[in-house]
Copies of this chain bind each other. A is one copy, B any other.
Amino acid sequence: MGAVPDGMSAPRAKPLFERIAIIGLGLIGSSIARAVRRTNAAAIIAASDAQPRVLARVRELGLADEISETAEEAARGADLVILCVPVGANADVARRIGPSLTRGAIVSDVGSVKAAVELAVAPHLPAGVHLVPAHPVAGTEQSGPDAGFVSLFLHRWCIITPPEGADPAAVERVREFWRALGSNVETMTAAHHDLVLAITSHLPHLIAYNIVGTAADLEEALRAEVIKFSAGGFRDFTRIAASDPTMWRDVFLYNKDAVLEMLGRFNEDLSALQRMIRRGDSDGLFELFTRTRAIRMGIVAVGQETAAPDFGRAREDAPQGA
């Protein structure tokens, strides 16, 4: 077992949970498994995944103590079940595991949309089982059990969205769990989460997918040049446009209203910007481009971004930022 990265819990003598069931071992689920093992946040890790090749890989990587072909089997007897599947799959998984759940168990998830998750999962849980949805705001553009790593959640925010009337002790246990994995924990309503994430995450993905799609539709010769000369800015967008298609399809289907609201604002602003360019409004452009610079400084200041130029991918002889 490797060292625990600074900022994560030292391996616990007494685990927070006896048995954690992780349903879905993609980037997020497999990173949770790795971090739970490293910190001993749970005594037993049970895992299931709908795809046999994922389960085989989980076995090879030694990510779980028990590997089950069905979610219901993994969830049986667990005191914490975390659904790590695309948002659209939550209802079906909840329906299947409901009968296996023990009184006092906590069901959580990692979805990027929260109001829809509550609606999908809550009806399937028996009395005495606590639903405490969570969203670790962390990830990379890669997918699958090989893409995960221990420190994915370290210094990243995890947002907990307890339903009205949620059991405070259950909520606190989920908060403690994410703190053990190195996250900063924040609590808010599902509706507020969905609005904030629509602008910080969903709209950026939408725009990135769109511009990369526009490039993909160019005539063949021009498209080859776009790839060749992508260092001019375009390549930045291709990273998030390489994210998991199923996960992101579901985000847009299940957070439709907030996404369309933010897209509306974006479109209004883009029309104004287009007009400035067409009319040659030099002062207007300069003013906007100056204002946007300040936002990045704020993000670097709160530790959510590297100060190194070019995300640090610039050469080693580049200045490393303030």
Interface residues of A (CB under 8 A from B): 2, 5, 112, 137-142, 146-147, 149-152, 154, 156-157, 159, 186, 195-197, 199-218, 222, 225-243, 245-246, 248-249, 252-253, 256, 259-260, 262-263, 265-267, 269-270, 273-274, 277-278, 280, 282, 285-286, 288-299, 302, 304-306, 308-315, 317-319, 321
19 inter-chain pairs at a CB distance below 8 angstroms, sorted by A residue, are A5-B315, A112-B232, A140-B309, A142-B319, A151-B315, A154-B315, A196-B222, A197-B229, A212-B292, A213-B273, A213-B292, A239-B311, A241-B295, A242-B297, A245-B285, A248-B289, A252-B285, A256-B278, A312-B312
Closest approach, in angstroms, between the C-beta of A54 and any C-beta of chain B?
A: 16
A214-B265, A312-B311 known; A299 vs B230 contact (CB < 8 Å): yes
Q: What chain B residues lie within 8 Å of A228 (beta carbons)?
A: 157, 186, 302, 304
Q: How far is the CA of A101 from the CA of B210 in the complex (A)?
A: 47
Q: Which of A200, A282, A304 has its CB near the most chain B CB atoms (within 10 A)?
A: A200
Closest approach, in angstroms, between the C-beta of A207 and any C-beta of chain B?
A: 6
Q: How far is the CA of A194 from the CA of B247 in the complex (A)?
A: 36
Closest approach, in angstroms, between the C-beta of A228 and any C-beta of chain B?
A: 6
B217 and A269 contacting across the interface, CB-CB below 8 Å: yes
Number of copies: 2
Q: How far is the CA of A24 from the CA of B269 in the complex (A)?
A: 33
- Smallest CB-CB separation from A301: which chain B residue? B227
Q: What chain B residues lie within 8 Å of A203 (beta carbons)?
A: 211, 214
A200 and B230 contacting across the interface, CB-CB below 8 Å: yes
B295 and A238 contacting across the interface, CB-CB below 8 Å: yes
New A-B contacts (12) at CB < 8 Å, excluding given A149-B315, A210-B273, A213-B269: A140-B309, A204-B233, A207-B211, A209-B288, A209-B289, A212-B292, A213-B273, A233-B240, A242-B293, A245-B286, A249-B289, A260-B278
A214-B266, A245-B293, A266-B211 known; A234 vs B200 contact (CB < 8 Å): yes
B242 and A288 contacting across the interface, CB-CB below 8 Å: no
A238 and B299 contacting across the interface, CB-CB below 8 Å: yes
A292 and B231 contacting across the interface, CB-CB below 8 Å: no
Q: Which of A227, A248, A321 has its CB near the most chain B CB atoms (within 10 A)?
A: A227
A280 and B295 contacting across the interface, CB-CB below 8 Å: no
B317 and A238 contacting across the interface, CB-CB below 8 Å: no
Q: How far is the CA of A322 from the CA of B12 in the complex (A)?
A: 34
- Smallest CB-CB separation from A316: which chain B residue? B151
